[in-house]
Structure 1
Amino acid sequence: MIDAQDYAGFARFLSECCGLVLGENRQYLVSSRLSRLLDEFGFNKVEDLLRALRQSPDAKLKSRVIDAMTTNETSWFRDVYPFETLRQVVLPELAAKKRPIKIWSAACSSGQEPYSISMIVSEWEAACRPKVVPVSITATDLSESILAEARSGLYDGLSIARGLSAERRQKFFDTVEQGHQIKADIQRRVRFQKLNLMDSYALLGKFDIVFCRNVLIYFSADTKRQIFDGIAKQMDPGGYLFVGASEAVGSYTNAFESIRTPQGNMLRRR
């Protein structure tokens, strides 16, 4: 088990490099998630790992540590209502402006959220032919390995079952030897790239819709303010932000107003 001093040092490192806050008494979590990594790189304990990271920064090692500590819990159409609101309310409203719609899926993990968005766009387009306006999706995450998984668009039987109906599985996936491959038209709409949410978002461009869901609970209050301010700068007035059902925004920014719809709540850029 990691001792208190090493735990405190590792918690500081994680906060400094990617903003994640471990909190107190999470030694077992750190030990369990880093044990395989320590063995692989030949370290006896977390103190040795920290020393290596600080004395001679190794991009590969740092990336592997972040991968090990990042929770990539996700599912298809998670919570349902944001995707129904997107299809029934947001896309029709924005399409009326007769210009391309740009969507950002932040902290996209292994791709279920941006691909779910792309499926919704496909269903919406099919219901309002001829095609109204082009829609593009940028999906970002901190982890290189999880982005590689997302880009592949290939999922096993366990992950494909989480939140995906049999109808959508048949419509949007091909069954291949390795598992289930998302269809090319759904995949083409999504562009994946690496991004640390503590860095600048300026190079991403402007977005009409942002999904940043179930990730900010891992950040400090100051980092949440920084992230919400950064997101707001990438959106024009009237754009929409979706956050997790239990995530409050009002304490960290006044750039958004809450909008109620029959499907659920969302936030609109003032």
Structure 2
Amino acid sequence: MTERYGYTAQPRLQPQDYRDLCDFFLKASGIVLGEGKEYLVSSRLGRVLREQGLDSFAELLRELKGSRNPRLRTAVLDAITTNETFWFRDMAHFNLLTQTILPERATEPGAFRVWSAACSSGQEPYSLSMVGSDFRKKNPGYRRNLEITATDLSEQVLAEAAKGLYCGLSTVRGITPEQRRRYFIPRGDCFEVDPELRRVISFRKQNLMESFAGLGRFDVIFCRNVLIYFSATTKADVIARMAQSLKPKGYLLLGSTESLSDPKGRFEMITGQGGIAYRLK
């Protein structure tokens, strides 16, 4: 059965189809949707149905279970996991980075490596590159080069983030006109991140449910506002594996409303500049 909205036929999301889709997202990405997200799933996946020429959510599920269309699987995951973000979100974390973490780890060997996990449309890794660049200018004797690995589950989002081109509201949310002048190059009605800031960032696909071994080890991991979508068991597993991906005494930063699930006591809480970070013991 369909309901008519203007000239577009919107299939009805049946309760069993919703439960099956929730199970699919849990297994594929670790995301727990739960009750009350039917409208979000229906509206976001409704676009996928139209683009793929599918008549119902039941047909979509059959295609997903058949594993005959990997592009469809990617499109479905992209539709649900893509989230809005903005520049310098939770500024206290960036202050902690520049005033505590970078100075503390100044004498460590090799590059200063940062992992921006679930980086979405790229504002977080680019913000990290901006504060890192400013820190180097203010501390010319600092010898460690900055390397940022930015990952996300969505290939589409990563492709857009790698371009470093932002238009509309994405050029103003969280960033001042002065910062836009210093860090961006005007491109018509849009703005492109300075190539020097982009140079230190590598974008790559990473499912947080899968092994992190190929990423190497990091001085700092930013994993903010993503674990809230996971079950308690999955959250604890991800944090345990992130602990293994940190260098000795490395730091993990979570979202300002998130709590650390660390039953084995791997981390100690560090506070400062109005923010909280967790340092590996």
* Structure 2 counterpart of 1:206, from 211, 217, 236: 217
Q: 2: CA distance between counterparts of 1:205 and 1:269?
A: 16
Q: Deviations over 1:110-168 (max 9, x none)?
A: 10000000000000000011442111000000000000010000000310101011111
TM-score norm. by structure 2 comes to: 0.93
Q: Which position in structure 1 is the counterpart of 2:129?
A: 118
Q: Which position in structure 2 is the counterpart of 1:219?
A: 230
User: Which stretch of structure 1 is more off in the superposition, 166-175 or 21-30?
Assistant: 21-30
Q: Which position in structure 1 is the counterpart of 2:45?
A: 34
Displacement after TM superposition at 1:253 (Å): 5.2
Residue 84 (1) aligns with residue 95 (2): yes
Q: Which position in structure 1 is the counterpart of 2:206?
A: 195
Residue 22 (1) aligns with residue 47 (2): no
Q: 2: CA distance between counterparts of 1:230 and 1:112?
A: 25
Q: 1: CA distance between counterparts of 2:27 and 2:151?
A: 20
Displacement after TM superposition at 1:252 (Å): 5.3
Q: 1:18 to 1:252 in 2, by over 3 A?
A: farther
Q: 2: CA distance between counterparts of 1:103 and 1:12?
A: 32
Q: 1:56 to 1:223 in 2, by over 3 A?
A: same
Superposition pairs of residues 33-112 of structure 1, within 5 angstroms: 33-112=44-123
Q: Secondary structure at the match of 2:105?
A: helix
TM-score norm. by structure 1 comes to: 0.96
Q: Secondary structure at the match of 2:252?
A: strand
Unaligned runs of 5+ in 1: none
Q: Secondary structure at the match of 2:130?
A: helix
Q: 1:195 to 1:252 in 2, by over 3 A?
A: farther
Residue 164 (1) aligns with residue 175 (2): yes
Q: 2: CA distance between counterparts of 1:223 and 1:149?
A: 28
Q: 2: CA distance between counterparts of 1:192 and 1:253?
A: 31
Q: 1: CA distance between counterparts of 2:31 and 2:152?
A: 14
User: Which stretch of structure 1 is more off in the superposition, 98-107 or 186-195?
Assistant: 98-107
Show structure 1 runs of 4+ deviating over 4 A: none
User: Which stretch of structure 1 is more off in the superposition, 189-198 or 89-98?
Assistant: 89-98
* Structure 2 counterpart of 1:145, from 156, 159, 162: 156
Which amino acid counterpart does residue 68 of structure 1 have in structure 2? A
Aligned length: 270
Q: 1:157 to 1:29 in 2, by over 3 A?
A: closer
Q: Is the 8 A contact 1:75 1:159 kept in 2?
A: yes
Which amino acid counterpart does residue 100 of structure 2 have in structure 1? V
Q: Which position in structure 2 is the counterpart of 1:135?
A: 146
Q: Which position in structure 2 is the counterpart of 1:235?
A: 246
Displacement after TM superposition at 1:263 (Å): 3.4
Q: Is the 8 A contact 1:224 1:252 kept in 2?
A: no
Which amino acid counterpart does residue 273 of structure 2 have in structure 1? P
Displacement after TM superposition at 1:222 (Å): 1.1
Unaligned runs of 5+ in 2: 1-11
Which amino acid counterpart does residue 33 of structure 1 have in structure 2? R
Q: Is the 8 A contact 2:148 2:202 kept in 1?
A: yes
Displacement after TM superposition at 1:41 (Å): 1.1
Q: 1:252 to 1:161 in 2, by over 3 A?
A: farther
Q: 2: CA distance between counterparts of 1:35 and 1:140?
A: 26
- The Cα RMSD (Å) is 1.3
Q: 1: CA distance between counterparts of 2:167 and 2:129?
A: 19
